[in-house]
Amino acid sequence: MCLYALQQKWCKDMEMLAINDLRFDANGLIPAVVQDADTNQVLMLAYMNAESLRLTMETNETHFWSRSRQELWHKGATSGNIQKVIEVKVDCDADTLLIRVDPAGPACHTGAQTCFYRNIKEVNQ
């Protein structure tokens, strides 16, 4: 509990949330942004259900729910490009996760380091 205004930033940093407090959507899923914990590059966005989140936290390797294949998906199980979990963050309204990882290889099935390898628009500064 934050008693003093000066402590509030510190308190925010220290807050922890239980899995039960998460807001999964109508399909039982929550989006998970995956970020390289070393470079801070955003690698991909995928979806987790409660089971894949539990597996992620139990094994310290990312697991997702594949919406197209309708099955659990251990990232890197076939490619070898597993993602070691460094920390799992949750946003203010508890409906999005940010997973900071140490990736063993490229995140994208195309071989690109990040799935976000294309631009829609670049704004000239």
Taking CB under 8 A as the rule, which mask of x and - marks residues 65-94 in contact with a second copy? --------------------xxxxxxxxx-
Asked if residue 60 binds a second copy (CB under 8 A), the reply is yes
Task: Find the binder of a second copy among 48, 55, 82, 97 (CB under 8 A).
Answer: 97
Distance CA 119, CA 7 (A): 40
Give the footprint of a second copy on residues 13-52 (CB under 8 A): 13, 15-19, 31, 33, 35, 39-42, 44-45
* Phi and psi based region of residue 64 (left: phi greater than 0; alpha: psi -120 to 50; beta: remaining): beta
Give the footprint of a second copy on residues 101-120 (CB under 8 A): 108-112, 115-120
Label residue 3 exposed, middle or buried (CB < 10 Å: 0-12, 13-18, 19+). exposed
- For 20-109, list the strands marked E by DSSP: 30-36, 42-48, 63-66, 71-74, 83-90, 97-103
- Closer CB to a second copy, residue 72 or residue 96? 96
- Closer CB to a second copy, residue 24 or residue 116? 116
Distance CA 85, CA 36 (A): 10
Q: Answer whether 36's CB lies under 8 Å from 103's CB.
A: yes
Applying CB under 8 A, which residues contact a second copy? 8-9, 12-13, 15-19, 31, 33, 35, 39-42, 44-45, 57, 60, 85-93, 96-98, 108-112, 115-123, 125
